[in-house]
Amino acid sequence: MQQLAAAESGEQIDLPAGQFQFDEAIKLTVTGLTLAGSEDGDTVLSFVGQQTDEASVQLLADGISVRNLRITDARNTGMRVDGVQSATLSAVQVQWQDVDAGPRGIVVSDSRRVLLDDITVHGATETGILLRSSAAVVVRQSRVNGSLMGIDVRNSQHSDLHSNVVVDNTQGIRIINAPTETLSAYAIRLFDNDIMRNNKDNTAAEASELAELWRGIGVQIAGGDAIEVYGNRMAENDTADIYVRTVMIDDATQQPSVLDPYPESIYVHDNQYGDSGMQPDGFKLKWLRWTLFGFGGRLPPVIWDGQLDRTKQINDLTPIHLRLCVPEDESPVLNLDQANGFANPQVEPNWHQCRLPSLPGVTING
């Protein structure tokens, strides 16, 4: 790619339709660069011969735009946006055809003001789209399927995921306040997404942190504060459409002080729920379904581990603004009593009958 090597700030490089073969990563390091394939979507960057494990296409400068490209057979991550202040990815596909699939489709790491529009990731072995320690990110009109985790929002802030199709993964979308990071998950909106049939068997290696994922979850909220989930369509997720839980900390002495393991100020409302919760993962959840809801029953759309931060309670009550609020009668919440080994699970409609202020949206040019 001699054009890329000689590119100047603000330049646009147009690639015609056809397949371009690479055996090393493409690193975009020029501010304001635009890399555009043909509008018919037939510009293919193949990395079937790549020798290193680094991301196949890397955006490493501010203001880069990439559009109308298909990335195939990445050895590791298909595309990575790393440490930038603005970037736009549009009509980008990541897939694997002639080699074993890599772990991740697209990663946005330590970045701000990033737009992912019309992205397709099929078959990444771990995560389709990963947002890590980033802020002001919008993921819209995208499709992710065939991964362990469809979209993973990891310790990121002030971001929107909307108008996406997330189907046929082990879990659809996760928002997590991971203990290995230093930025807290905060102010995330999920709306107008189709999150369905996320029932893929969990094939993660035993040592992977993804090995503990329950199969059949539409949305998982693991820690994090100020999260709004609304206007989504969720159905046929075997365990539950939404699972809210506390982050587990195995060695608290090594965790950054910023981490708050408890999910707080979670607002779930105005979603459409289908036939989920019919075949939950694991014996304990199956037993809960049978004993609480009958042989033909199903788990409620929203399940919660039941853990609370007692230090923030007033007169033994959690203030409303810190609760998991699910105001509709048609979407009851099941308290799993998970910390006590599922000893006393129960549906708690009154505790969750509350409303929270809606979060402001994220606006990114593009």
CATH number of the structural domain spanning residue 262:
2.160.20
Query: Is 165 part of any domain?
Result: yes
CB 190 within 8 A of CB 173: yes
Query: Is 355 part of any domain?
Result: no
Max intra-chain CA distance, the chain: 68
CA 193, 169, 273, 348 dihedral sign is negative
DSSP letter assigned to residue 310: G
Q: Rounded CA gap, 198 and 236, in Å?
A: 8
Query: Is 99 part of any domain?
Result: yes
Query: Is 143 part of any domain?
Result: yes
Tens digits of residue pLDDT in 212-267? 999 999 999 999 999 999 999 999 999 999 999 999 765 444 555 567 899 999 99
Query: Is 196 part of any domain?
Result: yes
Q: Rounded CA gap, 89 and 235, in Å?
A: 29
Query: Is 360 part of any domain?
Result: no
Tens digits of residue pLDDT in 85-111? 999 999 999 999 887 899 999 999 999
CA 27 to each of CA 7, 20, 73, 99: distance values in angstroms, whole numbers, following the listed order? 12, 15, 17, 22
Q: Rounded CA gap, 123 and 112, in Å?
A: 27
Query: Is 359 part of any domain?
Result: no
Name the region of 6 (left: φ>0; alpha: ψ -120 to 50; beta: rest).
alpha
Total domains in the chain come to 1
Write out the residue range of the structural domain in which residue 75 sits: 2-347
**pTM (two decimals):** 0.96
Q: Rounded CA gap, 77 and 79, in Å?
A: 6
Query: Is 272 part of any domain?
Result: yes
Q: Rounded CA gap, 356 and 267, in Å?
A: 6
| Number of separate helices (H) and strands (E) present in the chain | 2, 31
Per-residue pLDDT of the chain (366 residues; tens, 9 = 90+): 667 767 788 899 999 999 999 999 999 999 999 999 999 889 999 999 898 999 999 999 999 999 999 999 999 999 999 999 999 999 999 999 887 899 999 999 999 999 999 999 999 999 999 999 999 999 999 999 999 999 999 999 999 999 999 999 999 999 999 988 889 999 999 999 999 999 999 999 888 889 999 999 999 999 999 999 999 999 999 999 999 999 976 544 455 556 789 999 999 999 999 999 999 999 999 999 999 999 899 999 999 999 999 999 899 899 999 999 999 877 889 999 999 999 999 998 788 999 999 999 998 865
Q: Rounded CA gap, 295 and 143, in Å?
A: 34
DSSP letter assigned to residue 329: T
